[in-house]
Amino acid sequence: MARRGMMKLGMSMRGLGYHPAAWRHPDVPADGTLRFEHYAHNAQMAERGLFDMIFFADGIGLRERDEPRGSLARSGYELVEMEPMTLLPALSVLTKHIGLVTTASTTYNEPYHVARKFATLDLISGGRAGWNIVTSWSEAEAKNFNREQHLEYDTRYERAAEFVEVVKGLWDCWEPSSLVYDKAGGLFYDESRMHLLNHRGKHFQVRGPLNVAGMPQGRPVMVQAGASEPGREIAAATADVVYAAADSIKAAKTYYDDVKGRMAKYGRDWDDLKIMPGVRTIVAATRAEAQAKFDRLQELTDPLVGLARVYAALGDLSGFDIDGPVPEPQREAEVRSSTDRIMQRAREGNLTIRQLYTQIVGGGFYLIGTASDVVDGLQEWYEAEACDGFNILPPYLPGCCDDFVEFITPELQRRGLFRTAYEGKTLRENLGLKPHVNRHEAARAAASAAAE
């Protein structure tokens, strides 16, 4: 039976796209990540395609390593880009409906800063702000924030959980009716409806209140990305959206049921959370044309950049003939299971080094073909309830964003899988989420109901 309701879509528009050779594509502006027009075009195009949100993944340092030597200078991937929290308010002025979501790390920020900035973005954009909650995992970022090593896993997640609680608490400090602006009576705010947070925890001491209030969404939408036990628990407890890594439909369905199944114990309904796996799409008028677009990108991959993708698993292969067989790993594996998996793939397929890295560079969940082919893939996942929608990871920009809106959006609409107009004013409304209820207002309502 066809699933009812509409799928949700995000356009993940970081950088020049998600293929490492994107910057070399003839239609891609190599300097785009430092030009506002590049972001403006993609955001406006995604809005024309009625996307729920644009989405920025982010890092606070140059996370790629120069291994093998010389590869970094040729990669053009996540090297230089605009800071998204500064970028989004500008994009909000050029758009009217689309949600504006960016990543902010719980590892290298203070909750007060994050609460304040996203609250402000919500005000500027008329209720379209979203925060992607992550824990930073790289040594490169640690070194930009007074540390040599990144925080140990459990500590990172413990800090993240407390961080999120503080931010939520800060967003609730002012009840919606607290600001009375009574000029005649001389009263700016109602003292009984403003609340200090007085948080004293292991990682944070925050008194509050936040010095921003009145967010159109009550509070910004919260997105979570992280697949482990603690990641799933945070998602089930608090997230409105999960950006999930996609592998197979079966794994996605298991993940979906697992995370949604954890929500009831937090008093949340199945639909209070939208799970959106990432998918790369390449579409054209014919299947052959779409495949040619993909092959073209693959061919643009510089050998050193390709070798960088297998470095962690196999070590430095730059001294070998890339059109020869894959040699034994040149280093002790960092993650043994991934080394074993890659070696097995190379042996089974009798692959050359070039063939191996090309497969890896072009790996991940791709849908390539006509609009009908791509929508078949999206529909299959959606109807199997393996997701509530998708975070689109365009292999190169602006081309894959433009193509999505030209070819795929109309096909989704034709099949009744996607909206033909924005339903609401805010991101929360468009995602079909319940309105946020301020905790103090809820407590007041409960107390007065009990008194009656």
Ligand X SMILES: Cc1cc2nc3c(=O)[nH]c(=O)nc-3n(C[C@H](O)[C@H](O)[C@H](O)COP(=O)(O)O)c2cc1C
- Neighbouring residues of 27: CB distance < 8 A, sequence distance ≥ 6: 396, 398, 399
Q: How far is the CB of 255 from ligand X (least distance, A)?
A: 10
Q: Which of 73, 227, 285, 288 binds ligand X (CB under 6 A)?
A: 227
CB-nearer residue toward ligand X: 14 or 24: 14
The count of other CB atoms within 10 Å of the CB of residue 227 is 13
- Neighbouring residues of 395: CB distance < 8 A, sequence distance ≥ 6: 17, 18, 19, 22, 280, 281, 282, 294, 297, 366
CB-nearer residue toward ligand X: 90 or 245: 245
Q: How far is the CB of 398 from ligand X (least distance, A)?
A: 21
Q: 446 with 437: CB under 8 angstroms?
A: no
Instruction: Indicate the residue type of 167.
Output: V
Question: Smallest Cα–Cα separation from 84: which of 147, 143, 12, 189?
Answer: 12
Residues 89-128 that bind ligand X (CB under 6 A): 103, 105
Q: How far is the CB of 157 from ligand X (least distance, A)?
A: 7
- Neighbouring residues of 37: CB distance < 8 A, sequence distance ≥ 6: none
Distances (CA, A) of 194 to 113, 119, 179: 19, 16, 9
CB-nearer residue toward ligand X: 215 or 244: 244
DSSP three-state, residue 105: strand
Residues 42-81 that bind ligand X (CB under 6 A): 57-59
CB-nearer residue toward ligand X: 95 or 136: 136
Residue 442 engages ligand X in binding (rule: CB under 6 A): no
Of the ranges 85-93, 131-139, 318-326, 336-344, which one interacts with ligand X (CB under 6 A)?
131-139
Residues 339-358 that bind ligand X (CB under 6 A): none
Q: 59 with 144: CB under 8 angstroms?
A: no
Q: How far is the CB of 59 from ligand X (least distance, A)?
A: 5
DSSP classification of residue 24: G
DSSP three-state, residue 318: coil
Q: How far is the CB of 52 from ligand X (least distance, A)?
A: 17
Residue 134 engages ligand X in binding (rule: CB under 6 A): yes
Count of residues of this chain found to bind ligand X when the rule CB under 6 A is applied: 18
Q: Which two structure tokens, joined as six digits, stand for 18?
A: 């998600």
Residue 238 engages ligand X in binding (rule: CB under 6 A): no
Residue 226 engages ligand X in binding (rule: CB under 6 A): yes
Q: Which of 243, 255, 256, 365 binds ligand X (CB under 6 A)?
A: 243
Residue 198 engages ligand X in binding (rule: CB under 6 A): no
Residue 136 engages ligand X in binding (rule: CB under 6 A): yes
Task: Kindly write out the interface string for residues 264-283 of this chain, putting x where it contacts ligand X by CB under 6 A and - elsewhere.
Answer: --------------x-----
Q: What is the DSSP secondary-structure string of 380-428?
A: HHHHTTS-SEEEE--SSTTHHHHHIIIIIHHHHHHTT-S-SS---SSHH
Residues at the site binding ligand X, with contacts judged by CB under 6 A = 57-59, 103, 105, 134-137, 225-228, 231, 243-245, 278
